[in-house]
Structure 1
Amino acid sequence: MSVSTHTRIDTRLERSILIVPAANFRIIEKAVASSADAVCIDLEDSVAPSEKEASRANVVKALRELDWGKKLRLYRINGLDTYFAYRDLIEVIEAAGDKLDLVMVPKVNRPEDVYVVETLLSQIEAYKGFGNRIGIEAQIETALGLVNVKEIAKSSERLETLIYGPGDYAASVQMPMDNIGELDENDKLYPGHRWHYVMHAIVSAARAYDLRCMDGPFAGIKDPEGYLHSCRVARAMGFDGKWCIHPSQIEATNKVFSPPEKDIQWAQTVVSEYEKALAEGRGAITVSGKMVDAASLRMARNIVEKARIAGLV
């Protein structure tokens, strides 16, 4: 099994992932024309079993024929516990892998799941002579996936992102949830944030191995305030971005997961002043009346880098 041993320098902008069903090409066209940072064409939950095999052709057509601009190009295969998964990889990658950025793998339970996908990708890329290397995004949405999240996070050089799947996770651990991603009466009963453990576990595992981390979907497409709150909670917990299941959610997502101008200005000042202090042999400085040390510098550099990738500086 390939194990990640070095720091991955992330240059991909992924605040919003708009996911769309592979069975409907017109919706795919609209998604690719949207303002989302990434579009994921889904072969899994949003596609009926009777349509899954035929829908692979839509993924290939979209990758080969549509103008994606700067968007990340993704598709989600079916779970590795189904007989659809290996054909999802072979048929799509062989036909359009040279136009693809990432493969999303649902219900990743163990590092070996990533290894299976990694091995097939390596073989297909070698066979087809592709010059690009396709990355992997792993959805953590089961009890077993959460238990193994650290091992999953370090399982492959191809792995770029961990994604929280709230609906399937709730079902896996038998926690009641009225609507995916939304707060309900059960959240009011619990004296705290019911999903804090799983969300923070995903964030910390991702950061430990230099991966992106994305929050999952919010089902209430007619509840923009609820969605905005969900974005803010995810951002406060350290996530890089969030799934969108409707184009109306994209603008709020991109805004929440972009550094505010005041934060960018603070970060640039900290980086500049701290570099001057280091040159003078000082280890801590004061900026706007507050002490700034090495930890503050690391936070500032993170903000500047996010702003740079988003084109804000």
Structure 2
Amino acid sequence: MTRRVRRSELATPASNDRMFAKAAGSGADLVFLDLEDACAPAEREAARGKAARALRDLDWGRTTRAIRMNGVDTRWAHGDVIEVVTGAREALDVIIVPKVRTARDVWWVDVLLTQLEETLNLRKRIALEVLIEETEGLQNVAEIARSSDRLEAIIFGAGDFSAAQGAQVDTNFDPIVDYPGDIWHYARSRIVVAARAAGIDAIDAPFPNYRDPAAYRAAARQAAAMGYAGKWAIHPGQVGVANEVFAPTPEEIAHARRLVATYREAEAGGLGATGLDGILVDAAHLRLAENVTSRAELLGL
């Protein structure tokens, strides 16, 4: 599986080609051209060609290029995959599969991609990400996380999940009453545990209120604390915040490296634990520190 940076995943309507260049230059780690909810049904088929041309012709720099297809239970699903892959070829890195309910949904896309890659003689495999936005999907998330070796990330889709659960929330998917804590903590916890157990990334939900960067930052920091690798962005203005929040700071990197060095020195002396700044350091701390240093290495920090 390819290791990718996913601090920010920017959604862009595939039907609106005027937004493509701005998305490509946004600095997002991943941009997906959305053939699903961001496109009116009458525009979805025409948007496939626009997406393929943009993926192929624009300069995306280091940005991972993706699409969000329509759900496997819709009439657009097979056409989305066939037309965009045929048109974009190696210019498409990832397909995001929405409203995944069971592992079989992922299998369906995987098989179709395998057939296309062989038919088109593509040199690289296209990866998958999936959205958990149905209650059935959350119930099956552990099996979904291990459903395909193409699968690199699971995204929490709070909007549709709100509807699936029958939750009473506002347009930012926040509870309309004074709720104690995070109303989506259970869903977020199940998703990140399933993802980490399968060795893939978890990406946090979109935040529709793009005019409140402070609130977006707070939500991103909470997700990062839980182990999420990044967050969805619905506006280019959210990208910089996500990129900052989901990257370790220089101070965190320096402390992690000092902790590893201290532990290794103690280990060489036959000790299983030691002290650093007045705090006991053991093998569990080493694993936490190595999470920071490996992320820093992935980001080139």
TM bucket, shorter chain: over 0.9
1:204 to 170, 180, 193: 193
* 1:185 alignment counterpart: 176
- What is the identity, as a one-letter code, of the residue corresponding to 2:256? A
CA RMSD, Structure 1 to Structure 2 (Å): 1.1
1:224 to 207, 213, 224: 213
Q: What is the correspondence of 1:226-241 to structure 2 with a 5 Å cutoff? A: 226-241=215-230
* 1:280 alignment counterpart: 269
Alignment partner of 1:174 is 2:166: yes
Q: Deviations over 1:54-73 (max 9, x none)?
A: 00011110111011111111
1:62 to 54, 73, 97: 54
* 1:25 alignment counterpart: 17
**C-alpha separation between the residues in 1 aligned to 2:280 and 2:108?**
48
Deviation at 1:185, TM superposition (A): 3.1
Deviation at 1:230, TM superposition (A): 1.2
**C-alpha separation between the residues in 2 aligned to 1:191 and 1:39?**
34
- What is the identity, as a one-letter code, of the residue corresponding to 1:98? E
**C-alpha separation between the residues in 1 aligned to 2:56 and 2:29?**
19
* 1:39 alignment counterpart: 31
**C-alpha separation between the residues in 2 aligned to 1:11 and 1:159?**
11
Question: Quick check: 1:97–1:134 contact (8 Å CA) kept in 2?
Answer: no
Q: Deviations over 1:143-182 (max 9, x none)?
A: 000000000001110000000000000100101111134x
TM-score normalised to the size of structure 2?
0.97
**Aligned residues, how many?**
301
Deviation at 1:298, TM superposition (A): 0.5
Question: Quick check: 2:216–2:238 contact (8 Å CA) kept in 1?
Answer: yes
Structure 1: runs of 5+ lacking an equivalent: 1-7
**C-alpha separation between the residues in 1 aligned to 2:132 and 2:159?**
11
**C-alpha separation between the residues in 2 aligned to 1:180 and 1:56?**
29
Deviation at 1:81, TM superposition (A): 1.2
- What is the identity, as a one-letter code, of the residue corresponding to 2:176? E
- What is the identity, as a one-letter code, of the residue corresponding to 1:16? S
Question: Quick check: 1:18–1:39 contact (8 Å CA) kept in 2?
Answer: yes
Question: Quick check: 2:49–2:87 contact (8 Å CA) kept in 1?
Answer: no
Deviation at 1:299, TM superposition (A): 0.5
Deviation at 1:114, TM superposition (A): 0.5
2:136 to 133, 140, 144: 144
Q: What is the correspondence of 1:1-313 to structure 2 with a 5 Å cutoff? A: 11-181=3-173, 183-186=174-177, 188=178, 190-312=179-301
Deviation at 1:101, TM superposition (A): 1.1
**C-alpha separation between the residues in 2 aligned to 1:68 and 1:201?**
33
**C-alpha separation between the residues in 2 aligned to 1:281 and 1:133?**
46
- What is the identity, as a one-letter code, of the residue corresponding to 1:268? R
Q: What secondary structure is seen at the aligned counterpart in 2 of 1:132?
A: coil
Question: Quick check: 1:17–1:39 contact (8 Å CA) kept in 2?
Answer: yes
Question: Quick check: 2:204–2:232 contact (8 Å CA) kept in 1?
Answer: yes
Question: Quick check: 1:103–1:137 contact (8 Å CA) kept in 2?
Answer: yes
Identity among equivalent pairs (%): 45
Question: Quick check: 1:277–1:283 contact (8 Å CA) kept in 2?
Answer: yes
**C-alpha separation between the residues in 1 aligned to 2:188 and 2:3?**
23
**C-alpha separation between the residues in 2 aligned to 1:97 and 1:200?**
36
Q: What secondary structure is seen at the aligned counterpart in 2 of 1:185?
A: coil
Deviation at 1:184, TM superposition (A): 4.3
TM-score normalised to the size of structure 1?
0.94
Question: Quick check: 2:13–2:35 contact (8 Å CA) kept in 1?
Answer: yes
Q: What secondary structure is seen at the aligned counterpart in 2 of 1:179?
A: coil
